[in-house]
Structure formats: structure tokens, C-alpha cells
């Protein structure tokens, strides 16, 4: 079975999907990613789908699930590199990737995560000092 590699860059995990996703690959990726987030204590996940020609409801749901899992583990998920044709198809089909942030490329995605983190800390500084909760085991 093919496995999707997860690379760590600084405070961010980079997942580049290069193969067609099957049920098994998707479940494996979700497990691997959850483990890596906990193990590394990263606060951002960038999923690169530049290589994907087709994004259907299955892949859409997988991305949403990954985003939700990461959110629980206090990591921000950004999907990057969606092709124009894929975006048009998703719109025509009426599928929207709920709760997922998007960016044009990996670089922008990493910037987005950095700025989101900065905003969060700024808010937390304004609020109660103990308002921040982490999901580290």
C-alpha cells in the first residue's frame, strides 16, 4: 500500500499528496498525521494537492476530516496548490470545502499559518492569561 509522506519544516508539517487516494491511504494518512502532530508538537499542517487532477467528494471529505483532527490537536490546516480546473469542477458540483483554509502555493500557506498563529497569540495576550488550552497528551 502506498503511504503519503509527511515532512516537518520548522513548526509546520508538509503533506504532499502525489498518488490517487484510496480509502486505506486516506485512513493511514489521518492516523500518521495525528501521530506526527502529537509527536512533533507542530502547530500547522500544509496539504499540497498540486498533483491531484481530480478532487471529488471523497477527497473533499478526507481533507475536511484531516482539518478537524488537526484542529482538535491545535494545529491549523491549509490546503494549497489547488488547480484551476479542480476549483471550477468543485464549484460546478456545488461542493465546498467547509472549515478548510486555502492558499495558492506552499509558501503562501506557510505564511498564512504563521500569521494565524501570531493573531491567535495577540488575542490570547489580550484575554485571560490561562485562556489558552493545548491538547498535548
Residues 6 or more apart in contact with residue 39 via CB below 8 angstroms: none
DSSP string, 104-133: SSHHHHHHHHHHHHHHHHHHHHHS-GGG--
Nearest approach, Cβ of residue 98 and another protein (Å):
11
Q: How far apart are CA 34 and CA 57, in angstroms?
A: 22
Contact 38, 71 (CB under 8 A): no
- The answer to whether 117 contacts another protein (rule: CB under 8 A) is no
From the list 30, 68, 108, 114, which residue makes contact with another protein (rule: CB under 8 A)? 108
> What angle, 0 to 180 degrees and rounded to 10, lies between the N-to-C axes of helices 23-40 and 57-72?
20
- Nearest to another protein of 38, 97 (CB atom): 97
Asked if 54 touches another protein (CB under 8 A), the answer is: no
Q: Which is nearer to another protein, 21 or 78 (CB)?
A: 78
Among 33, 47, 62, 102, contact with another protein (rule: CB under 8 A): 102
Taking CB under 8 A as the binding criterion, the range among 3-11, 15-23, 40-48, 99-107 that sits at the site for another protein is: 99-107
Contact status: 47 vs another protein (CB under 8 A): no
Q: Which of 15, 47, 75, 79 binds another protein (CB under 8 A)?
A: 79
Question: Do you know the residue count of the chain?
Answer: 137
Distance separating alpha carbons of residues 99 and 78, to the nearest angstrom: 10
* 83 counts as binding another protein under rule CB under 8 A: yes
Catalog residues that contact another protein under the rule CB under 8 A. Answer: 78-80, 82-88, 90-92, 96-97, 101-105, 107-109, 112
Amino acid at each position: 500500500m502506498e503511504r503519503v509522506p509527511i515532512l516537518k519544516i520548522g513548526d509546520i508539517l508538509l503533506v504532499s499528496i502525489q498518488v490517487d487516494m484510496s480509502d486505506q491511504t486516506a485512513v493511514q494518512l489521518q492516523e500518521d498525521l495525528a501521530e506526527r502532530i502529537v509527536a512533533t508538537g507542530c502547530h500547522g499542517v500544509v496539504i499540497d494537492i498540486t498533483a491531484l487532477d481530480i478532487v471529488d467528494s471523497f477527497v473533499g471529505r478526507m481533507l475536511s476530516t484531516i482539518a478537524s483532527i488537526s484542529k482538535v490537536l491545535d494545529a491549523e490546516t491549509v490546503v494549497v496548490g489547488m488547480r484551476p480546473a479542480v476549483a471550477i469542477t468543485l464549484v460546478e458540483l456545488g461542493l465546498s470545502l467547509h472549515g478548510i483554509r486555502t492558499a495558492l502555493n506552499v509558501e503562501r500557506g506557510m505564511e498564512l499559518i504563521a500569521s494565524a498563529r501570531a493573531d491567535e497569540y495577540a488575542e490570547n495576550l489580550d484575554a485571560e492569561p490561562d485562556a489558552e488550552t493545548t491538547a498535548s497528551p
